[in-house]
Amino acid sequence: MTANFDQVLAADAIVVGSGIAGLTAAIELAPLRVIVLSKGEVADGSTPYAQGGIAAAVGGDDSPAWHASDTLEVGGGLNDETAVEVLTGEGPARVTDLIARGVAFDRNEDGSLMLGREAGHDTRRILHADGDATGAEIARALVAVARASENIQIVDHAFAADLVVDAGRVVGLTARIGLNIQVLLNAPAVVLATGGVGRLYANTTNPPPVTGDGLAMAARAGARLRDIEFVQFHPTALASGRDPMSLLTEALRGEGAVLLDDQGRRFMVDVHEDAELAPRDVVARANWRVIQDGGKVFLDATTAVGAAFPTRFPTVFGLCMEDGIDPRKEPMPAAPAAHYHMGGIATDLGGRSSLPGLWAVGETARTGVHGANRLASNSLLEGAVFGHRAALDIEAAGMGNGVGIAALRAAEAPGLEPDPQPDVISELRDLMWARVGLIRHHTGLMSALEEIDRLGEKIEPGVSVGANMVAVARMIASAALLRTESRGGHYRTDFPETTRWWDRPVVVNS
Ligand code: FAD
Ligand code: SIN
C-alpha cells in the first residue's frame, strides 16, 4: 500500500479539522504528537464566522440545570439527557479554559462577563467577543496556542480522503496535500472535526470547506451515523446575493430587532407567542412562507439597536455597509439559510464513534446534545466540551505510538481542494435547497433521491469533495424520507405532526 504514496508518516493522533472542536482536542492532546489537517488555511471552517457567541451558565442567577432545561425544550425530545447535562455542567469550566487560552470575551465596566440573549434561552447567558465577532476571536486564540505547541503540527491545504481500517479498527487515513502530494498517515487515534454540511445547500451561511467530508469518510468506513435528517436553517441571513450568505445574528432579535414583511407588518406575533424569539425552526419556516408567497422579509433593528450598531454588532454592520445597507437607518433584507447540522457521527460521551480508533467532535459529531434542533450558541460550546472530552478519552486509552513526527511536506501547489465539477455541485445544491430543505414531502424527497443518483453518475470516480457531497446528500434525503413526521429542523407537509412512534433515531450503518 505504501508504494502509492509520496510520504508515509506516523503520529500519536491525527485531527481532521481546525475549528473550535479540532483545535481544542489537539491542544488537550498535545503531550502526545498530533497532526492537524485542514482543507484550506487553518481555521477555515464555520468557527471564525460565529457571531452571537457561546452559551454557558456563568451568570449569577443562572445554573447548568436551567441551561439544560432550555436545551431540552428546543431539542424535540431526541436529546440524550446525559449528554446535555455534560454540556451544560462542564460548559463554565471550558469557558474558563478559553479565557485562559487568551479569548477576550466582552466585559461590563465592572469587569464581569457581558451576557447576551438569544432565542430559546430563558435568560442572558451568551458570552461574546468584539460584539459579534466571537468565533473569530476564539479561532485567533486557539490557533495561537496550537501554533505555539511543539507537539502539534498544523498542515494547511490538506484534504483528508479516506480512513484506513485494519481488522475493524481505524489506524490512520489517506490525504492529499495541495494538489499533488499523496500521503498515508498512521495513528492509533483519528479525530474527525470536519464541521457541518451547509455547502450542500444553495443558500447557506457556511464557508466552502464545510461539505460534510467527515460524514462521508465515516460512513464509507462503516461508522454509525445518527439524526442526519435534522438540518437547522437560520431564519435571518442577509439577502444580498453573497455565497456564503452573511449572517444577521440572532442576538439582534435578542436585543429587540423585529421581523417585518414588505407591508411593514410584524408577522411573527401571529405565528408564535415568543414572536421573533420563537424557536429557530419556527421563525425560519415563517420567513420561508412569506418569501414563497412572493413577499420579502426584513429584519428591522433601527429602533432596538440604531446608533449603537457599529459598536454592538460591528461584524454585521460592516457586512451590511459593504452591501450598501445602513442597518442604523433601514431594515435589512433577510432570508433563511442552511446553517447547522444536528446529526452526524454517533459518539459516546468521550467522543468515541462506533469504530475503534475513531473519534468525532464538534458539528460533525452526533453527541446527543442537540436532538432535533439546536439551541442557539450551543455549538461552539459543544466543540469546546467534547473536544476536551475526546482528548481525555484518547489519553486514558493509552493511545500513542511514542514516535516523533517528521514534518509533513508543505503543499507544492496550495489551494482549496478544487470543486471538481462545479455545474454538478451547483445543481446538487439547488436540488437540496428546493426539496430537502426547510419544507419536505414524500414526492419531493423521492424525486430528489432520483436526481441525486443521476448527479452521482456524473461525478468522476474516486474520492473527491463532489463524491462526498453526493454521498451525504443521499443519506440526508433518505433519512428525511424515512422520518414520516415533523420535529425540530425536519418538517414534512405530508406528516406535519410529531408522533411518539418517532421518538427514535434514524441510524445509518446500524
Ligand atoms: P468548523 O469550524 O466548521 O471546522 C471544520 C474544519 O474541518 C475546517 O478546518 C475544514 O477545513 C476541515 N475539514 C473539513 N473537511 C476536511 C477534509 N476532508 N480534510 C481536511 N480538513 C477538512 N455557533 C455558536 O455556538 N454560536 C454562534 O454564534 C454561531 N454563529 C455562527 C455563525 C455562522 C455564520 C456560522 C456558519 C455558524 C455559526 N455557529 C455558531 C455554528 C458554529 O460556528 C459551528 O457549528 C462550529 O464552529 C463548528 O466547529 P467545528 O470545529 O465542528 O467545525
Ligand atoms: C447567531 O449568531 O445567530 C448564530 C448563533 C448560533 O448559530 O448558535
Other Cβ atoms within 10 Å of 360 Cβ, number: 32
Tell me which ligand sits closest to the C-alpha of residue 37: 1
Residue 178 pLDDT: 87
| C-alpha cell belonging to residue 208 | 466552502
> Which CATH number is 305's domain given?
3.90.700.10
Residue 416 pLDDT: 47
State in Å: Cα 205 to ligand 2 middle: 10
- DSSP per residue over 99-128, as a string? HHTT----B-TTSPBPEE--TT-SS--EE-
Tell me which ligand sits closest to the C-alpha of residue 49: 1
pTM of the full structure: 0.96
**Phi/psi of residue 16, each to 5°?**
-100, 105
Q: Is 156 in the pocket of ligand 2 (CB under 6 A)?
A: no
Q: Is 377 in the pocket of ligand 2 (CB under 6 A)?
A: yes
Query: Is 280 among the catalytic positions?
Result: yes
Residue 404 pLDDT: 47
Q: Which of 219, 239, 350 is nearest to 297 (CA)?
A: 239
Distance between CA atoms of 55 and 74, rounded to whole angstroms?
Answer: 15
DSSP-based three-state secondary structure for 366: strand
Region of 135 (left: φ > 0; alpha: ψ -120 to 50; beta: rest) is alpha
Distance between CA atoms of 194 and 437, rounded to whole angstroms?
Answer: 21
Q: Is residue 159 one of the residues assigned to a domain? A: no
Q: Is residue 15 one of the residues assigned to a domain? A: no
Q: Is residue 284 one of the residues assigned to a domain? A: yes
Residue 263 pLDDT: 95
Q: Is residue 267 one of the residues assigned to a domain? A: yes
Sheet of 169-177: strand order equals 7-10, 181-186, 169-177, 158-166
- CA-atom Rg of the chain in angstroms: 22
State in Å: Cα 377 to ligand 2 middle: 5
Atom in ligand 1 nearest the alpha carbon of residue 251: 28
Q: How many domains are contained in the chain?
A: 1
Q: Is residue 105 one of the residues assigned to a domain? A: no
Q: Is residue 53 one of the residues assigned to a domain? A: no
**Phi/psi of residue 183, each to 5°?**
-125, 150
Reported in sequence order, the residue ranges of 204-307 that DSSP labels E, i.e. its strands, are 225-226, 231-238, 258-261, 297-300
Distance between CA atoms of 45 and 135, rounded to whole angstroms?
Answer: 10
Q: Is residue 309 one of the residues assigned to a domain? A: yes
Testing ligand 1's pocket by substitution, the residue of 316, 339, 379 carrying the most ligand atoms inside 8 A of its CB is 379
Domain that holds residue 274: 239-338
Distance between CA atoms of 101 and 459, rounded to whole angstroms?
Answer: 43
Q: How many residues does the chain have?
A: 510
Q: Is 505 in the pocket of ligand 2 (CB under 6 A)?
A: no
Residue 230 pLDDT: 98
Share in percent of the chain as helix, strand, coil (round to 5):
35, 20, 45
Q: Which residues line ligand 1 (CB under 6 A)?
A: 16-22, 37-40, 44-47, 49-54, 134-135, 158-160, 193-196, 205-206, 209-210, 213, 247, 340, 362-363, 377-380, 383
Atom in ligand 2 nearest the alpha carbon of residue 236: 3
Residue 417 pLDDT: 54
Tell me the mean pLDDT per 10 residues along the chain, length 510: 82 97 97 94 96 95 97 96 98 98 97 92 94 96 97 95 95 92 94 98 97 97 98 97 96 94 97 92 96 97 97 96 98 98 98 98 98 96 98 86 54 54 94 98 98 95 91 98 97 98 94
Tell me which ligand sits closest to the C-alpha of residue 234: 2
Distance between CA atoms of 95 and 83, rounded to whole angstroms?
Answer: 18
Q: Is residue 507 one of the residues assigned to a domain? A: no
- Specify the amino acid at residue 47: T
- Specify the amino acid at residue 421: Q
| Residue written as grid cell 473569530 | 136
Burial (CB < 10 A; 0-12, 13-18, 19+), residue 460, is exposed
State in Å: Cα 27 to ligand 1 middle: 17
Report the first-to-last Cα separation within the chain, whole angstroms.
30
State in Å: Cα 363 to ligand 1 middle: 7
Residue 411 pLDDT: 54
State in Å: Cα 137 to ligand 1 middle: 14
Q: Which of 117, 224, 253, 280 is catalytic?
A: 280
Distance between CA atoms of 446 and 441, rounded to whole angstroms?
Answer: 9
